[in-house]
Copies of this chain bind each other. A is one copy, B any other.
Amino acid sequence: MNQDYIQPHPWSIIEEGFDRERVKSSESLFSIGNGAMGQRANFEESYSGPTFQGSYIGGVYYPDKTRVGWWKNGYPEYFAKVLNAPNWIGIHVEINGTPLDLATCSNIKNFKRELNMKEGWYQRSFVATTPNNIELEVVTTRFLSLSHDEVGAIKFEITPINSDTLIVFKPYIDAGITNEDSNWDDKFWNTTKVTSEKNRAFIESHTMKTNFKVCTFMQAYTVYGDLLKSSPDSENSEELSIGFEFSQKVKKGEKVSLIKYGGYTVDRNHEADKLTEAANIVLDEVSSLGFDGLLEEQKKAWAQIWEMSDIAIEGDIKAQQGIRFNIFQLNQTYTGTDSRLNIGPKGFTGEKYGGSTYWDTEAYCLQFYMATKNQEVARKLLKYRYNHLEKAIENAEKLGFKNGAALYPMVTMNGEECHNEWEITFEEIHRNGAIAYAIYNYTRYTEDYSYVPEMGLEVLIGIARFWQQRVNWSENRKKYVMLGVTGPNEYENNVHNNWYTNYIAKWCLEYALEQLDYVQQNHPADYKRIIEKTKLTNDETGLWKKVAAHMYLPYSEEHGVYLQQDGFLDKDLVRVADLDRKERPINQHWSWDRILRSPYIKQADTLQGFYFFEDHFTVDELEKHFDFYEPFTVHESSLSPCVHSVQAAKLNRMEQAYTFYLRTSRLDLDDYNKEVEEGLHITSMAGTWMSIVEGFGGMRVKDGKLCFAPKIPEQWEKYSFKINFRDRILKVTITQEGANFDIDAGEPLEILVNEKPITLSA
């Protein structure tokens, strides 16, 4: 954890001073993305120090062959891996014939990085002396355009300070890249064509095996005073790369700039044989706007995003910076325009973890996108899973399930499983529940039921079939039991009757039955089509009813709580507070078996069920369970503090809620886990939003009504946020004195504040 590394600022992430040790961490923190592509904050010019290069294209992946110590039946043979894409940002720079490389410069001053979140750009500036004694000022600014999401723009400005200097810019694109995270050192890209046209260059490549076709392109020109040079002095084309050369004699104290546009056209969006053509079109568009014109569009696009999704906090600048960083990253990762994309755990900031989609999307991210964008965006996230239903059925078949039972993968890119630890891949099956829950959550929030007959019901049937086949009747208990699962608490594996999993399975069965009835009555044509397609029988639904009615739910009479799993009370129930601080985090100090047999909980498990199904339980019950489980919770998952923050707020424990909030909101900025160099924790960022809006703000939907229970940490003067509720925009402002609700034009809306009805008018 390093709390002084990033300067506090309400709208920007700022690093001051050059520290070689932090280059890789900053490359993560200052990453930029536009939903379609992403770029780590690598230097444009050569850098011979430690760096982790990363350019990513949304939805472009590689099926890496699985590598394990000991093979288990059912592991995926191959799984999708986030792929480093060809480099479009590179600009070699020569200063009087000597390459510019910060690792070889001396006297580095005024080094500063700024990620301007309000306007969506990243700038790096410094003054340094090259090995041949030229002192320079460098300012480089870049952004990935939201309005033209295939393109990024760079302005690289150099001012020699101590003498007239010959400056040569060599902008290039390069497909000769590799992945750090690779099992077999496979070659991932095959390059087929390298071409150029005046100051534009194009590399056509395709990924091996998946055959995603991509054209990486660039255009460059220099500006020196009023001299705009749009034709390179020379060109250097190689097998996997192509570069231009622009030379300029620059007078001491004067500035020369290289402007570079670059990016990718992909066959997901264009005809495969017209990628270079498409690149030319987008370059025509952006070059007619120019760097400044494109940047203006960028500022407008981000202003529009912030207009809706900003959370303003007064009186606590670090909390303010944290929540904005989280909201910014979520918007950089997923914009909601393409139902083939999703929210990867590292977004576009690193390549760790194969695949992109976890249950995080449904359990943590959906609410954010639903409330800060609109229901169409949320619907795209649901549709993503519908599109993967066939693959989920195949996945379940591989594990021995039949008759259309669906098991969604633990991690996926294209619907196929990307994970290979038996205790997770095969056993952390509660993920299926979150996917059904998201359908419920969406319809509850939006009152848009059309997704269910169109797509959702088929998903619910596949999931219900899975649960019915996954349980077995225990003669011993005269109940249906579910053996060998891993709950949300991954610090227990292969447990029996995990309450959360059993509960959500029972709920899924009931919800599927309820939606079947609903569709039968309200959408008879869809019903007929779906029954024919799925061959669902009354015998099956009869069995669903039976399983749901007789599902075993472990409960302790003594403690008055549901038990996390059958064996929980046999554990040595020493509270986290009584553990030696030196032994924490336990995942760095304890062997795996010790963790497994301990009572320590990685993230909300039983309490996750209380979060999803809060209306099923009283506040007293919540309190009892919170007081029983939280003391054993080590919060070693980035997804843990947010759920607990929401519940602590509900229980009026604001100090505790605030502590949890802090822990989640600045996880990456303060590098709590000392791993930010590998990339950011994107999905947990939605949890920070949740902590404020659902936790402090107490926002929820109950019986069709929007409800609030406004609270505020004592550290804050005021905070405000907006939500989109059924296409109405509601602004909520909460101060130490009370809460204020503004609504946009339209009909009056009745909401509940602290359970009292209030009618809002525009």
Contacts and interface: CB of A to CB of B under 8 A. Distances in A.
A208 interface: no
Nearest to A424: B70
Interface stretch (A133-141, A570-578, A652-660): A570-578
A609 interface: no
Contact of A72 (B66, B426, B591): B591
A209 interface: no
Interface stretch (A451-459, A467-475, A697-705): A467-475
Nearest to A493: B494
Nearest to A400: B594
A73 B591 contact: yes
A416 B274 CA distance: 60
A422 B68 CA distance: 13
A587 B496 contact: no
B73 A588 contact: yes
Interface in A413-456: 420-423, 426-427
A596 interface: yes
A74 B475 CA distance: 38
A399 interface: yes
Contact of A494 (B68, B426, B472, B494): B494
Contacts of A423: 494
Contacts of A593: 74, 399, 422, 426-427, 484
A590 B481 contact: no
A106 B473 CA distance: 63
Given A569-B475, A572-B473, A74 B399 contact: no
Interface in A46-93: 66-70, 72-74
Contact of A572 (B74, B472, B569): B472
A591 B573 CA distance: 34
A398 interface: yes
A474 B570 contact: yes
Contacts of A594: 399-400
- Counting contact residues on chain A (CB < 8 A from B), the size range is 35 or more
A400 B590 contact: yes
A631 to B, nearest CB: 15
A555 interface: no
A27 to B, nearest CB: 24
Interface in A214-264: none
A477 interface: yes
Contacts of A481: 570
Interface in A461-505: 472-477, 481, 483-484, 493-494, 496-497
A566 interface: yes
Interface string A593-609: 11111000000000000
A400 B591 contact: yes
Contacts of A476: 569-570
A93 to B, nearest CB: 39
Interface in A387-426: 398-400, 420-423, 426
A654 to B, nearest CB: 33
A427 to B, nearest CB: 5
Contacts of A497: 570
A588 B72 CA distance: 10
Contacts of A589: 73
A497 B571 CA distance: 12
Nearest to A591: B74
A403 to B, nearest CB: 16
A567 interface: yes
Q: Identify which of A74, A475, A481, A592 gathers the most chain B CB atoms within 10 Å of its CB.
A: A592
Q: Identify which of A398, A472, A474, A484 gathers the most chain B CB atoms within 10 Å of its CB.
A: A484
A537 B475 CA distance: 47
A272 B566 CA distance: 59
A571 B472 contact: yes
Contact of A74 (B73, B571, B592): B592
A475 to B, nearest CB: 7
A69 B420 contact: yes
Q: Identify which of A67, A69, A570, A588 gathers the most chain B CB atoms within 10 Å of its CB.
A: A570
Nearest to A476: B569
A73 B422 contact: no
A483 B495 CA distance: 11
Q: Identify which of A473, A477, A572, A587 gathers the most chain B CB atoms within 10 Å of its CB.
A: A572
B66 A69 contact: yes
A694 to B, nearest CB: 32
Contact of A496 (B70, B74, B570): B570
B484 A596 contact: yes
Contacts of A398: 591
B591 A474 contact: no
Contacts of A427: 593
Nearest to A593: B426
A353 to B, nearest CB: 11
Contacts of A475: 569, 573
Contacts of A597: 472, 483-484
Contacts of A587: 73
A128 to B, nearest CB: 40
Given A567-B566, A597-B483, A422 B592 contact: yes
Contact of A70 (B421, B474, B573): B421
A592 B72 contact: yes
A68 B72 CA distance: 13
A499 to B, nearest CB: 15
A70 B423 CA distance: 12
Nearest to A572: B472
Contacts of A494: 423, 493-494, 596
A334 to B, nearest CB: 26
A484 to B, nearest CB: 4
A139 B401 CA distance: 56
A72 B589 CA distance: 11
A316 to B, nearest CB: 37
Interface in A493-536: 493-494, 496-497
A567 B591 CA distance: 24
A495 to B, nearest CB: 8
A423 B73 CA distance: 16
B70 A592 contact: no
A567 B400 contact: no
Given A73-B589, A426-B592, 20 more contacts: A67-B69, A68-B69, A69-B69, A70-B421, A73-B588, A73-B595, A74-B592, A398-B591, A400-B590, A400-B594, A426-B591, A473-B572, A475-B569, A475-B573, A476-B570, A481-B570, A483-B596, A496-B567, A566-B566, A566-B567
27 contacts: A67-B69, A68-B68, A68-B69, A72-B591, A73-B592, A73-B595, A74-B592, A74-B593, A399-B591, A422-B592, A422-B593, A426-B591, A426-B593, A472-B570, A474-B569, A474-B570, A475-B569, A477-B570, A481-B570, A483-B567, A483-B570, A483-B571, A484-B597, A494-B494, A494-B596, A496-B567, A566-B567
What 4 pairs between A and B have smallest CB-CB spacing?
Answer: A74-B591, A426-B593, A484-B597, A483-B597
